[in-house]
Structure 1
Amino acid sequence: MPQVVVGLDIGATAIRMTRIEASLFRFQFLDFSEHPLPAQVDLPWEQLASSVLQVLFADRGIRAERIVASLPGRYVSTRLLRLPFSDRRRIEKTLPFELEGMIPQSLDEVVLDYQVLATDSQGSRILAICTEKKLLEAHLAMLRGAGADPYAVLPPFVALANLRREILLAGTEPCGIVDFGERETSLTVLEGGEFRFGRSWALGASTLTRALQESLQVPAARARDLKEKEAHLFPTLTPAGDSHPEWIANSLRRGLEPLLVGLRQSLMSVSRSWGIQIPRLFVCGRASCLQGLCDYLAQQLELEVSPLRLSGPVGGHPSFPASETPSAAVSVGLALHGVRDAAASKLNLRTGEYTYVSEREELKKQALSFGALAGVLILLLLVRFGLQYHLRSQEYARLSRSVDEIALELFPDLRSIQAGAQRTSAMTARLDQEKKQAALFAPLAPDAPSALDVLLEFTRAVPPEVKIDVREFALVEADKVRIEAETDSYNSAEQIKQNLLKSGLFQSADIAEAKDSVDQSSVRFTMTVQLSQRIF
């Protein structure tokens, strides 16, 4: 699905925005807009910029899946280094120590990123950029407060390098791009479409306004009007050389001198580092519209200088406002930084602890964290259950061995049965059987008669001369016993009954049934005896 990428150039006097719609393999220009900051308002620049951003993103709800914002170049330090190796890990370990003596701040106070510009047999050339953490934090807070959380934060000179495919060049001709802004000027050097160098100065069009104001003794607003509407760096000369246009031109030239010094030194440094000459400069930025500026720079720097024209996928789009190129250049470069394969470098000051995390990525990250935590918990539970199972298995095995040993000790004949559950089951059956047999000989209560006592008393009740054959001796209730027996006569059965009642152990004795046997030789009877005490 196509995404809208917004390049947000947050300048000293205006916010410029370029929108590009990008898909996986292509992108196209959507629109460019410029939004001036409130003038004649005595508020800090951050508050003015924040109010305009609030209107654009929070109030108007401008669609933006990815935002690339600028950080004023005056807040960013650049260093060009050469290291005798090209291994990325060694570079990341060594670079902070190399920079420690080159920047005034402590390394703990800055955010650092770098780009390997080239590698050869002698090592690598590296461009390092850094800014103070407190400045980056304040800048991000301003953007987030307005609803514009940027994916990347770049100085203008990094954004300008992304215009490499928008500029018509002959072959691999080196060139420089100069963005002449209100409060700062940025330089980017390209060779063969590759990013070679970049830096910014805290000098811009406001420097020229102050030069006119001081030289002509006019208010700032009047000096700005003269610079933008009347000034020309090559005015018509007069014999005396003191005409008003000449005064203005001379004041502007004096104001441009620090910028020329910085450009000469930077171009000389690039020539020494890369062994190349920069034959051509392209100029952009709102202040680049100063009449005669390109000719004056060409004269002073002794190279070809021309206004920047964009003619690539963005500048060549029918709806791109070519007349706005000087102002749009940085915002176009910022937007291209967020497009796949369009960026000239991977530099981004939102790195380390400040790395951008979108809401979707944050949710995904939280979901992954929750999933990982859930996985760990499940794993711990599985380990716990596994350990419990293992320990209980060991305990069961020990108990099983102990039970087998006890079973063999009690019942040696069980050795022929398989050890384990079968032997345990056989032992349990034997124990139950012996328990039943033992119950006949022991009372269930301390003062109660046992079944054996009842049987003994019945035996005593049988006269010695009486023959008796007990067929059944059963406890039908806790205090009743049924006896089925065969004796020689009815009198013998009655005598046994009377003897039982005399013993004192029985409360009553009834002969429920008595009859002769088939051959009339004996009497079969059934007697129910009620005990004086319950057996259990």
Structure 2
Amino acid sequence: MKSVGIDIGSSSIKIVEMTSSSKGFQVTQFIEHALNIAPGADQELEVIEFLRNFTATYDANQTKFILALRQDRVAIRNKFFPFNDRIKISKSLAFELEEDLPFSSENAVFDAKIVRTVGGGAEVLACAAPKVHVQNCIQRGQDAGIDPAIVSAEGTALANVFEKWNEAPPALLPPNIALNDEDNRPVRHVQLILNIGHSRTLVSAFEGNSLIAVRSVLWGGKNIAEAISKKYEIPFLEAIKELQTKAFILTNKQGATFDQVTFSDTIAKSVRELARDLQLSILELKSEFNAQIDSIGLTGGVSQIQNIGPFLTQILEVPVNRTSTLDLIPNVLFERSAYNGAKAGVALGLAIEGFKKPRNPPVNFLRGEFAKENHQMKMFWEKWGHTAKVVAAAVLVLFVYTSLRESFSVSLADRTQEVLKDQAKTVAGLRGRNASESGIRKYIRDNKKRAADLKTLASVANMNSALDVIKKVNDATPAKTAVTLDVQQLSVTDALVQMQGYVNTPQEASLLQQSLTNITSDGQVRTQRSTLKPLNGRTAFSFSFNVDRGIQKVTR
């Protein structure tokens, strides 16, 4: 059996083929077809022609073709359900997501991915996509001669590369605190994976090996190419070639030529736009999950820009390094190059979707009116339909009998709900379906969250970076003619700066200590015991002092 993941991007089509056998799974092939990105080019026709020629070589009865919706066309929300039955979760999705969706739930297709079970409940990524986008994806496949077995989403597909996709979701014991206790939530250690493409960046948040959130940022290599085109007044396609072959960011401009510095600054200025969007996404994740971002991995074509990782590390103050998706998968039968590892991520995840088991099923929007017809079920109904009708009638009679017995208790419950709605309307201004116990709890949480977010944003709006602090230390240091300074260690932790090194004389150490008081927040530079080895003719020093990072105190 073969599973073929097809990732249709804005600049190229990436295809990964996987096969299953008695020995396990093998990644047998990776193909990339570049699309014409010139303004006015008919990419849709090019996509259909290429896929039609490519898929003609496969046996449709022995192959699953997996397509994906663009992530910005899929709404994903992290929800907690007090039960972990997949059928109940599926039936509850439309109700739970009704207020969170930017489109009508009546015109959407829903599915869910269980992140983990917690006691009798489940943390779930609830997914919704407008029917029109699902229909367009199916139509594109049919035009290309493909009958897709699964229509998934880019974010959940990419997660397969980093998760244990062939195992059931992890099961955890319930925590000691209430799940809705916002003030005592534990810190969640999160790793981000950035898949930077031609026009968009996919931001996936993982806690351990579990995907907990997905964001789509409208920024990609196209933005850098446009900046290069504008700076050097060259055609867009030529700027793309320059980006693909020569792109770099200088981490140290010493010894670089004027042209190199100009080219680097042009790219760096554009990448800063991505960094600003990432800072907002990180702040959102910290607010929603009480998350601590431990590291960031880079993949996608734009991740191959030289020194983009160190550059983002300086801005975000979080370690940023490249991640090769192919290195995470065993049994790859083609070259594990850095280029292939950066490009194949989403297509590889889509191919994995075709082999996932019911214990951890794929995200699939082929549901409801888009569900594939089951001929075996049709034959079963023709044979056993009459018996099923009789059984259904008996169940209906039993249900009516049970309902009559419970009518009294239901009427009491209805009266309770009416009183609750009246109080919700009077106190919180909630109406309709929002005037319920869960609606009132949500009202309280949302207002507390909104107030906390505003305070957090205000506190970090003017925060100085560690590089700014180091610049202040450099500016405050006396001239070389006054102090012969050799700094061995310099660290900035929150507002505390620690500095160790050598000078020629104790008088120079005293002069340095007095100069540094100008940048302290309390006018004091403390002397500590130096851990450096003594040197002949040199005086070791160790200072610590506090600086103003520009962080406003947040009061609860």
Shared fold, TM over 0.5:
yes
Match of 1:251 in 2: 266
Tell me how far apart the structure 1 counterparts of residues 6 and 301 of structure 2 sit (CA, whole Å).
16
Change (3 A) 1:40 1:322: same
Match of 2:322 in 1: 307
Offset at residue 322 of structure 1 (A): 2.9
Are the counterparts in 1 of residues 191 and 293 from structure 2 also a CA contact under 8 Å? yes
Q: Any stretches of 5+ residues in structure 2 without a counterpart?
A: 171-188, 390-556
Deviates more, 1:92-101 or 1:68-77: 92-101
Offset at residue 163 of structure 1 (A): 0.9
Q: Any stretches of 5+ residues in structure 1 without a counterpart?
A: 378-536
Tell me how far apart the structure 2 counterparts of residues 25 and 149 of structure 1 sit (CA, whole Å).
28
Aligned: 1:291 with 2:312: no
Match of 1:179 in 2: 195
Match of 2:383 in 1: 371
For 2:348, which of 332, 342, 348 is the aligned residue? 332
Match of 1:263 in 2: 278
For 1:9, which of 7, 27, 48 is the aligned residue? 7
Structure-2-length-normalised TM-score: 0.59
Are the counterparts in 1 of residues 27 and 333 from structure 2 also a CA contact under 8 Å? no
Count of aligned pairs: 368
Match of 1:215 in 2: 231
Match of 1:200 in 2: 216
Offset at residue 220 of structure 1 (A): 0.4
Question: How does 1:84-483 map onto structure 2 within 5 Å?
Answer: 91-92=89-90, 94-120=92-118, 124-164=122-162, 174-234=190-250, 237=253, 243-310=258-325, 314-323=329-338, 324-340=340-356, 346-357=362-373, 362-372=374-384
Change (3 A) 1:348 1:260: farther
Change (3 A) 1:261 1:63: farther
Change (3 A) 1:375 1:117: closer
Change (3 A) 1:311 1:59: closer
Change (3 A) 1:89 1:355: closer
Tell me how far apart the structure 2 counterparts of residues 64 and 16 of structure 1 sit (CA, whole Å).
21
Q: Deviations over 1:93-113 (max 9, x none)?
A: 554234223223211222222
% of aligned pairs identical?
A: 22
Tell me how far apart the structure 2 counterparts of residues 124 and 374 of structure 1 sit (CA, whole Å).
38
Q: Deviations over 1:320-343 (max 9, x none)?
A: 433311111111111112223599
Tell me how far apart the structure 2 counterparts of residues 271 and 84 of structure 1 sit (CA, whole Å).
24
Change (3 A) 1:351 1:60: closer
Offset at residue 236 of structure 1 (A): 5.5
Offset at residue 346 of structure 1 (A): 3.4
Q: Deviations over 1:209-257 (max 9, x none)?
A: 1122233332102221222222312165269x99333333233233223
Q: Deviations over 1:361-385 (max 9, x none)?
A: x4434433443469899xxxxxxxx
Change (3 A) 1:245 1:301: same
Tell me how far apart the structure 2 counterparts of residues 196 and 296 of structure 1 sit (CA, whole Å).
26
Match of 1:383 in 2: none
For 1:56, which of 54, 57, 66 is the aligned residue? 54
Change (3 A) 1:315 1:248: farther
Q: Deviations over 1:15-73 (max 9, x none)?
A: 11111112477212211111222455844433221111111113676885212212222
SS at match of 2:292: coil
SS at match of 1:189: strand
SS at match of 1:278: strand
Match of 1:71 in 2: 69
Q: Which has the larger radius of gyration?
A: 1
Q: Deviations over 1:147-202 (max 9, x none)?
A: 222222222211111112599xxxx9742221111111112222221221212222
Match of 1:452 in 2: none
Tell me how far apart the structure 2 counterparts of residues 60 and 67 of structure 1 sit (CA, whole Å).
10
